[in-house]
Amino acid sequence: MNDLPLVEALLITASIITACTVLIIAIIKSGKFVKRTIHFFDDFLGEEERAGVPARPGFSARMSKLEGCIEKVSDRLEIIEYRVAEINYELQPNSGHSAKDAINRIEKRLNEIEERLNV
């Protein structure tokens, strides 16, 4: 019976060593995840300029810049749509005021002149 406390002590020691080993391995393995998480939040929140590293704007600053670009593109798109509508108007025959009507009149007159000259 004297061996029982020794066995218990060995089991407790082995359990502590196993727990510490598992804990150390978990810390080492999770280090990569923690590092990536820190990088994500640094990118999300932005970083101020420091020696040798330029400042990086955060998510909200980048989104504001993108929204400004989208507004500019939207304004340009409206102008392009207006100009395309004007061009389309000129290429469709209407009551004689479009470029298409003028071209048709010129072609008709040229055909009449050709007929007169050939006769």
Q: Residue 67, SS3? A: helix
Residue 77 confidence (pLDDT) above 90: yes
* Stronger pLDDT, 3 or 16, i.e. the higher one: 16
Average the pLDDT over 56-73 and give the result: 90
Residue 19 confidence (pLDDT) above 90: yes
Interior/surface letters 12-47, b for 16+ CB within 10 angstroms, e for the rest: eeeeeeeeeeeeeeeeeeeeeeeeeeeeeeeeeeee
Going by pLDDT thresholds of 50, 70 and 90, the confidence category of residue 84 is very high
The domain ranges of the chain are 1-56, 60-119
Which pLDDT score is estimated for 39? 84
pTM, entire model: 0.47
* Stronger pLDDT, 63 or 51, i.e. the higher one: 63
Average the pLDDT over 6-24 and give the result: 93
Residue 1 confidence (pLDDT) above 60: no
**Cβ neighbours of residue 7 under 8 Å, at least 6 residues apart?**
none
Sign of CA dihedral 46, 50, 52, 54: positive
Residue 91 confidence (pLDDT) above 90: no
